[in-house]
């Protein structure tokens, strides 16, 4: 008799649970911008247009030839400038071989962290997940992941688990700080314990993991540190004060970390990645509605994960900000205050939690 086939249960994205949307629901400014980036705004494509005109024997003095050459030259100049700018900011990429790396992911049971952990697990990488949720050894073996029950807000627990990871897998070289919780309460309704709990999990945990794992990376002379913040760290939002403030602190922490690594003699080969996504389709903000699916689409965790995976495996530093508006959210701060007020009012950022009925509720990711 043939051996019974093992059943693997898949957790499908939330979009599979919804009714089919009209085609224009999936048309967003992010898709348009991406297409333009590979066509009109791409240096190679711009020069192909010039070559096509020459193939038609268009003279150099013709207006269309002058315009196409000027455009191609401008796109090439911008492209070269961006390459030089990133090299100045981040330096050369480091060599990454997943078989020789040990990846530590906090909050890696569900959501974005869970997706990253399972992706690396399927690729037979050395993955250690730190989470307060317990996962059986059998499930861990199926996924190719070692799960450690650990409250990353407790420095002693992190240190104890780090010793186990070094013994089980080796010296950690990639740290993805992803753990996070939210208390959707107003400032007046929040207790001291609520605020402290959010900051301990969302912010202080990063200090705990950095103090524990960064020395290993410095001794190895290589490493990658991923800091998962949020676009709300730059915006703030009503009824999300503790969450937004804890994520804002991570922005400053990331820049401070980069500055200290630049001054450390063994920190040149340690790369840093800042992740500031917009609203993701995870359980944390599952019922929150976006004001415009075209301008501010809800991001699937896979869209964030693939950019993180790309930077980590290319050995590069950088920033992951999706959807498109999250890349330019800093511009809002330089606009006149009246315009800022109108944008916030239109976006619904300060009323979204109330409309979703999430005030006073607590969810974790």
Distance CA 103, CA 254 (A): 19
| Helices (H) then strands (E): counts for the chain | 13, 9
Judge contact between 140 and 147, C-beta under 8 A. yes
Whose CA is closest to 107, among 184, 201, 203, 211?
201
Distance CA 127, CA 94 (A): 20
Active site residue 4: no
Distance from the Cα of residue 62 to its chain's centroid: 47
Considering the candidates 143, 147, 148, 247, report the single residue annotated as catalytic.
Answer: 247
Considering the candidates 120, 147, 148, 243, report the single residue annotated as catalytic.
Answer: 243
Task: Tell me the torsion sign for CA atoms 286, 195, 235, 317.
Answer: negative
Distance CA 290, CA 351 (A): 11
221: left (phi over 0), alpha (psi -120 to 50) or beta: left
Q: Please state the φ and ψ torsions of residue 201, each to the nearest 5 degrees.
A: -80, -45
The two three-digit tokens of residue 45, written as one number: 């494509």
Helical packing angle, 111-122 and 301-313, nearest 10°: 50
Active site residue 247: yes
Distance from the Cα of residue 10 to its chain's centroid: 23
* Residue 131, SS3 per DSSP: strand
> What amino acid positions are annotated as catalytic residues?
243, 247
């Amino acid at each position: 008799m043939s051996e019974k086939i093992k059943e693997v249960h898949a957790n499908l994205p939330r979009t599979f649970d919804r009714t089919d949307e009209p085609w224009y629901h999936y048309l967003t400014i992010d898709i348009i911008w991406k297409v333009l980036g590979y066509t009109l705004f791409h240096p190679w494509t711009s020069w192909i247009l010039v070559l096509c005109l020459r193939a038609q024997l268009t003279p150099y003095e013709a207006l269309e030839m002058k315009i196409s050459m000027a455009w191609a030259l401008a796109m090439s100049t911008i492209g070269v400038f961006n390459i030089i700018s990133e090299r100045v900011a981040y330096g050369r990429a480091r060599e990454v071989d997943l078989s020789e790396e040990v990846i530590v992911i906090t909050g890696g049971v569900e959501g974005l962290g869970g997706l990253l952990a399972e992706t690396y697990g399927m690729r037979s990488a050395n993955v250690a997940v730190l989470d307060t949720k317990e996962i059986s050894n059998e499930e861990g073996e199926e996924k190719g992941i070692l799960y450690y029950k650990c409250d990353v807000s407790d420095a002693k627990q992190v240190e104890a688990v780090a010793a186990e990871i070094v013994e089980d897998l080796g010296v950690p070289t990639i740290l993805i700080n992803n753990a996070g919780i939210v208390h959707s309460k107003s400032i007046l309704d929040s207790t001291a314990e609520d605020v402290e709990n959010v900051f301990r999990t969302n912010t202080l945990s990063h200090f705990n993991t950095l103090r524990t794992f960064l020395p290993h990376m410095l001794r190895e002379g290589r490493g990658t540190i991923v800091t998962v913040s949020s676009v709300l760290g730059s915006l703030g939002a009503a009824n999300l004060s503790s969450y937004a403030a804890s994520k804002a602190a991570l922005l400053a922490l990331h820049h401070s970390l980069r500055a200290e690594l630049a001054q450390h003699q063994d920190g040149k080969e340690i790369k840093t990645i800042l992740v500031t996504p917009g609203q993701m389709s995870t359980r944390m903000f599952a019922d929150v509605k976006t004001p415009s699916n075209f301008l501010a689409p809800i991001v699937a965790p896979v869209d964030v994960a693939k950019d993180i995976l790309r930077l980590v495996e290319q050995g590069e530093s950088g920033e992951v900000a999706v959807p498109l508006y999250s890349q330019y959210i800093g511009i809002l701060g330089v606009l006149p205050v009246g315009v800022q007020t109108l944008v916030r009012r239109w976006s619904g950022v300060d009323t979204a939690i109330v409309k979703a009925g999430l005030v006073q509720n607590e969810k974790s990711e």
